Structure formats: structure tokens, C-alpha cells
Chains A and B, each alone.
Chain A
Amino acid sequence: MKNHSGNIIKPEVDAIKIFSYTIMTIFAIMCLFPFYYIVVVSISDPQSVREGQLILWPKGFSLDAYKVTFQHARFYSSFQVSLIRTIIGTASGITLSSSLAYAVSRKYLRGRKFFTIFIVFTMLFNGGIIPTYLVVRYTGLIDTIWALILPNLMNTFNVVVLMNFFRSIPDEIEESAKIDGANDLIIFFRLMIPVAMPSIATITLFIAVYHWNALMDGILYINTPVKKPLQVYLNDIVVAGQTDDLFGDSSARWMPTLSLKTATIFASTLPILMVYPFLQRYFVKGIMVGSVKG
């Protein structure tokens, strides 16, 4: 095939390749650096952090910043709120999204076109912040954990990805099950979910990450401090700098804010960093089949 021109395509030292390797490696290091820096500062001796030294590798070692972080009651309450909303929100979100996506993906379903437009239209046009807030308010969800779960239970992009994945499953699987007398519920739960697992696992990860990271709904819908999710707490401590009650404890008074901030950031990002490597290889496969044409 390529023998007669083989000498031409011989791997010449190719500038584009060298360039690609260099740029992508630099960018990858840049993406890792913030996390590295946070860890390094948070475990460094607070004394050197306080002196304002440039810290690029750990200076001394101390877990005092974490001790102060974990002493704060609001850290626990908000961590708990985020954990609960993530578990309930992800479980119900993926169930609802995949069953809706599956039903709409069936070609013979009456009204399929209508339902598809009904779903996709919400990507193009929406009510916006205030009307959604009013719906949440009139349905009595303000200041309850349901305000963090229900209004964003589903995401249309995710539904569309799942829909495309279900559509790509060959019809024969369903047909033969129907001949064996299985109804649509059995087919969906026993056959389709296992087949669609790469896609469902990916979307589950997306939903879980969304719930863990969501800030806006906590700001909009929750007023009581102990009911606020982790990201709102983090925003109060790290961005708005409300570290006063952290310093309430006299042992923490001398602690530089940078140590405390980095410890709080790392402690709240740890759950994501822990699951990320395991799920990472799943989603490349999962999203590629489903998406492309959003």
C-alpha cells in the first residue's frame, strides 16, 4: 500500500509533533499546578506562610490548618448538606433522566416528536433566574434541601446525550425481548440500562459533580447558615473572607488566612479528586458515542 512512498512518510523529525508535545505538556502542568500549590501551602508550616515566603514546595510540615478547619461546626453542616443533596440528587436525577430519555428515544412512541421538541426547546429558551426563583418559592422549597435537589434535577444536555445513546442501540435487542413477552419496563431496567452503562455512568458522574460543585442555588434559595451547602460555605470563608468565627478559637488566631483557606479548599475538593481518576476513563467512552450533535 504505502511501500513505494514509504521513504517519504518515514518519521521525519516533525516540528508539529514537537510543538504539540511541548504545548500540551505545559498546559497539563498548568492544570495540575493549582492543586499542587493548594496542597503544598496547606501542609506547610504556618509560620513560613505567614512570613509571606514564596512557597513552591512544602516548607516545614504542619497539619494545624486542617485542625482548625475541621474544628469549625459549619464545615460539617455544609459538608453534610452537600453530601445529602449529591446522593439524593444524583440517584433521582439519573433515574428520571434515563427513563425519560429512553421513552423518547423509541421511534414508534406516539408523540415522540412533540416530546423531543418539548425537551430540547428548554436549551434554547428559559424562564431565567427570577421566575424560577418564584416557582421554587411558591412551591414552598425555600430554605429546604429540596430547593437544592428539585429545580435542577435534570439537565437537558444530559437527557439528549442519553437519548442519542439509547437510539444507537440496535432494535433487535428490544424486538427479541418483546417476542419473549417482556414489557417495556423489564426491557428498560434489565436490558437497556446494562447496555447503556458507559453512557449512564458518565452522566451519573456529571450529575454528582454538578451537585457537589453547585453554588448558585445555595445562594439563591437557602438563608439559614447551617442549611447552606459546602460551596456557599467555601465562598463565605475563602472568597468573602469571613474567617472571623474560624478565629474565634484562640489557638487559631495566629494562623495565616492563606493556610486556612488552602486547607478548607483542599478538604472540600478531596471527594472529587478521589473519585475522578476512577471515573475518568469511563467518560471518554461514554460521551463520545452519545454526543457530537448536541
Chain B
Amino acid sequence: MNINTVKNNQAVETVKNRPGYWRQLRKDIIKDRWLYVLLFPGVIWYIIYRYLPMLGLSIAFFDFNIVKGISGSKFVGFEYFRYIFFEHRNFWQLVENTLAINVIKLVFYFPIPIVFAIMLNEIMSVKYKRTLQTLIYLPHFVSWVVFGSIIITFLSPSEGIVNQIIEAFGGKSIFFMSEPKYFRWIVVASDIWKEAGWGTIIYLAAITGIDPQLYEAAKIDSANKLQLIRHITIPCISETIVVMLLLDIGRIMNVGFEQIYVLANPTVYSTGDVISTYVHRIGIGNGRFSLTTAIGLFQSVIGFSLLVTCNAISKKSFDKSLW
């Protein structure tokens, strides 16, 4: 109970005989028992809802039957992987769509929060800065259904504001949401609109941490604004940038399900159907559990390996890493 008694007991014990590993372990667990009480429910939850599904990935190697369960299903080895790699009609299209959206995001989305954070940092009036922050964080807090339906409404050919403007200037209205060539760009643009403001928060935190003396010293050397940004701000937040970049690369096989689910419709599946929406539609909709689990496992393994590889490269070449 009392920390002093525990300490005394330990001391006595050590004098008598060196406690073995197990004994010490037992004692530590008893000493910290309330901490383990706090830990326990969370760990159980992680086992059920995060680790059990990982075991469940094994159904990719079975001809899984939901009624009979895994023990009543036939083991088929890599059959499903062979099928998706070599015979499946749209698997590679799904991979391409997923990668294409994420590559466009990396090029056009990724730098924006960094630039915005630096710009926000230029704004001197605290009140105005706070107002701007309040406004640009706002879209992050509404759902993709709401934001996506606003995008769809804006781009609607009959009642949408964008087409009303196009028509007002004598143009012809465009069916944005049913044109495959626009879809990926709409996804990335709407993501920038919704999330780029919120994305600044992590870089702003990093900028706040920079020692002001660095700027003072540079100013004495009569550095101009651009030089300050280039030679102080950016190097000082480079660690954060690398970490965020690594995380994004690790997610390159994932596109948020909800965004695509809301924005996509069958006319744009050729460019817009991604792994998660397909897995949902075919896996749960058509009950093809093993097939879609194999696709999901492929996605997870690629994401995991990319993250580990990029992290190792980054650790070696810039001495910056996630763990």
C-alpha cells in the first residue's frame, strides 16, 4: 500500500537473498497493481478489436464460409492471391486508382499545410490570426457526407453554383461528377479544401518551438524575410516534415473510404473506385470475404513495408525517423 513499506520490504528482501526474476516481477506487479487495473480494459479492447482482426486476415488463405466458420472452411493457400494478381478483372485498376489519387495528393496537397503554416506565422495580429485559424480548421470538423454533398451540390449540372456561373458567362454546363477524367482531381481538391487548414496545426506547433534568438541573430546579419524562412524556419521544421511525409508514404495504399464513398458513383468507378470502396462493395455486399480479405492483406503488407523501408532510408540518410 504505502510506498515506504514497499521500499523497506524490498530492502530487507535484498539483504536476505537476491530475489529471482519472477519474484521481483510478482512484487512489481503487486506494487503497481492499480496501474495494471487502469491498463487492463484498454489492452483487452486492443486484443479484441485490433489484434483479433489481424488473426482474421488468415481467411485470405481459406475458402471462407461465414456459416461454417474458419474450421469448416477449406485451406486454399495462395489461390486467392494468384487469382487477384493474374485473373481478377479490376484489381490492378483499383491499385492504379488508389496510387494515382495518393500521388496527386503527395504532389499537390502535401506542401500546402507547410506553406500555410509559414504564412500564418507571418500574420502579426494575434486576434486576426486566431480568427483565420478558427475558420480554416472548421471544415475538418464536419463529416465527409456534409462536405462531399456540398461539393456535389456546387458541381451539380442543374442547380450547382459552379455551373450557374459557367452558364452566366455563356458556357455549357459540365457534368463534373460523372466524368471519370475529373474525378481524381475533385477528390484531391476537396481534400485540400477540407483538410489543408487543419493540417497546418502540426507545423504551427513546430514553428512555435523555434528559438526566437535564431531569427534575431539572422536579422543582425541583415537577412531578409525570404532568407529567414529558407534558412531558419524550414530547416527547423524539417523533422516534422519528414515525419509527416513518411506517414503519408505509409498510407499510399489507403484512400479514405468515406470521401470516396460519398463522392463516387458508378460512372466514375474506372478512375475513382479504390481498394476500400471495392472491398466494402464486393466483400460485404456480395459476401466474397476471402477474396476481399486477400486484397486487404495485400494493401496492408505493401503499406507496412513501404513505411518500414522509407523509415530506414530516412534514418540512414537524414538521421530522422518515426521510432
Identify which of B49-57, B93-101, B102-110, B178-186 touches chain A.
B49-57
Q: Are B139 and A150 in contact (CB under 8 A)?
A: no
In Å, the complex CA distance between A117 and B159 comes to 52
Known contacts A34-B150, A38-B150, A215-B145; A130 and B262 CB within 8 A of each other: no
Instruction: Knowing A106-B35, A209-B141 are in contact, say whether A130-B296 is a contact too (CB < 8 A).
Output: yes
**Complex Cα distance A16/B304, Å?**
40
Question: Is the beta-carbon distance between B59 and A37 smaller than 8 angstroms?
Answer: no
Query: Which of A118, A151, A262 is the one whose CB lies under 8 Å from B49?
Result: A151
B300 at the interface (CB under 8 A from A): yes
A291 to B139, CA, bound (A): 21
**Residue of B37, B53, B54, B57 with most partner-chain A CB within 10 A:** B53
Query: Which chain B residues lie closer than 8 Å to A184 at the CB level?
Result: 32, 34-35, 38
> How many Å from the CB of B3 to the closest CB on chain A?
4
Residues of B within 8 A of A281 (CB): 130
Interface residue? B214 (CB, 8 A): no
Q: How many residues of B contact A (CB 8 A)?
A: 110
Residues in chain B near residue A235, CB distance under 8 A = 145, 149, 261-262
Docked-complex contact A31 and B135, CB < 8 angstroms: yes
Enumerate chain B residues within 8 angstroms of A110, measured Cβ to Cβ.
25, 28-29, 32
A interface: dominant SS: helix
Which A-chain residue is minimally distant from B299 (CB atoms)?
A128
Q: What residue of chain B has the Cβ atom nearest to residue A152's Cβ?
A: B49
Interface assignment of B268: CB less than 8 Å from any CB of chain A: no
In the complex, the chain A residue whose C-beta lies closest to that of B54 is A127
B122–A16 contact, CB under 8 A? yes
Selected from A128, A132, A268, the residue in CB contact (under 8 A) with B146 is A268
Task: Give the interface segment out of B8-16, B84-92, B216-224.
Answer: B216-224
Query: Within 8 Å of chain A (Cβ to Cβ): is B271?
Result: no
> Nearest Cβ distance between residue B95 and chain A, in whole angstroms?
15
Give chain A residues whose Cβ lies under 8 Å from the Cβ of B297.
Answer: 128
Shortest beta-carbon distance, B12 to chain A, in Å? Answer: 20
Known: A130-B296, A181-B1, A188-B38. A20 touches B304 (CB 8 A): no
Of chain B, the residue at the smallest CB distance from A133 is B284
The reply to whether A284 and B149 form a contact with Cβ atoms under 8 Å apart is no
B32 cross-chain contacts in A, Cβ below 8 A: 106, 108-110, 184
In the bound complex, what is the Cα–Cα distance between A19 and B247 (angstroms)?
Answer: 30
Cβ distance A174 to chain B, nearest Cβ, rounded Å: 10
CB neighbours (8 Å) of B164 from chain A are: 52, 54
In the bound complex, CA of A159 to CA of B149 (Å): 31
Are A238 and B149 in touch, CB under 8 angstroms? Answer: yes
Contacting residues, chain B, for A268 (C-beta < 8 A): 146
User: A-side interface residues toward B, CB under 8 Å?
Assistant: 1-2, 5, 8-9, 14, 16-17, 19-21, 23-25, 27-32, 34-35, 37-38, 49, 52, 54-55, 96-97, 99-100, 102-104, 106, 108-110, 115, 118-120, 122, 124-135, 137, 139, 150-154, 159, 178-179, 181, 183-185, 188, 209, 212-216, 219-220, 231, 234-235, 238-239, 256-258, 261-262, 265, 268-269, 272, 276-277, 280-281, 284, 287-288, 291-294
Interface residues of B (CB under 8 A from A): 1-4, 25, 28-29, 32, 34-39, 41-43, 45-46, 48-57, 59, 66, 116, 118-120, 122-124, 130-139, 141-150, 152-154, 158-159, 161, 164-165, 168, 193, 196-197, 201-202, 204-206, 208-209, 216, 219-220, 222, 225-226, 229, 240, 243, 247, 250, 257-258, 261-262, 276, 279-280, 283-284, 289, 292-293, 296-297, 299-300, 303-304, 307-308, 322-323
Known: A38-B150, A215-B145. 13 other contacts (CB 8 A): A16-B225, A17-B225, A34-B147, A54-B165, A96-B41, A103-B35, A108-B32, A110-B25, A125-B300, A125-B304, A129-B279, A219-B261, A269-B146
Closest 4 CB pairs of A and B: A127-B53, A100-B42, A131-B56, A213-B143
Q: List 13 A-B contacts (CB under 8 A).
A: A17-B124, A24-B123, A28-B197, A31-B138, A109-B32, A110-B32, A115-B39, A115-B43, A128-B279, A129-B279, A131-B53, A231-B145, A256-B159
